Amino acid sequence: MPMPLWWGRVNKRVFNPRAVRSGKWQVIRHVGRSSGRPYRTPLEALPVDGGFIFTLVYGSRSDWVQNVLAAGEATLEVDGGTVDLVGPELITADAAFERFPPGAKRPPRLLKIDEFLVMRRVDYT
C-alpha cells in the first residue's frame, strides 16, 4: 500500500510548489485530463534504457499519473533541459527492479510501493 492519497493532496498544495521552485527535483510537466490546465509535479525519475521509470509513491490513482496515462505523453525537466516522453505504462515493482541500473536505490520496503510508471523517450531522428 503506497502513501495515502490524502497526504498526496497536502503535498500537492503545500510542498510541491516549494520543491518545484527549489530546482532540486526533476519535474514532470503534464496536462489535466479534465481541465486541460498545464501542471508541474516534482518527483524522482530514474533514467533507464530508452526512457525513465517513476516511483509511484502515492500509487497509480494520483492525479499526475492519471493525467499522464490519459494524455499518453509528458515532458520531463531534468539536468537543466527537457525530455519528451511517450507511452506511459504501469509496471510491477519486480518488473521495475529488473530495469533499474546497477547501484540504483530501491524505495524503502516500509513504503510498500508496488507500482511504477515507465515512459519512453521520444526519438526525433
Which residues face 36 on adjacent strands? none
Q: CA-CA distance, 95 to 102, in Å (whole number)?
A: 15
Tell me which of 1 and 108 has the higher pLDDT. 108
Q: What is the pLDDT of residue 108?
A: 79
Q: What is the pLDDT of residue 30?
A: 97
Q: What domains sit in the chain, N to C, each tagged with a CATH number? A: 5-121 (2.30.110.10)
Indicate whether 36 pLDDT > 90.
yes
Mean per-residue pLDDT over the chain, rounded:
86
Indicate whether 123 pLDDT > 70.
yes
pTM assigned to the model: 0.80
65 class by beta-carbon count within 10 Å (0-12 exposed, 13-18 middle, 19+ buried)? buried
Q: What is the pLDDT of residue 3?
A: 57
Q: Which three cell numbers stand for residue 124?
A: 526525433
Indicate whether 121 pLDDT > 90.
yes
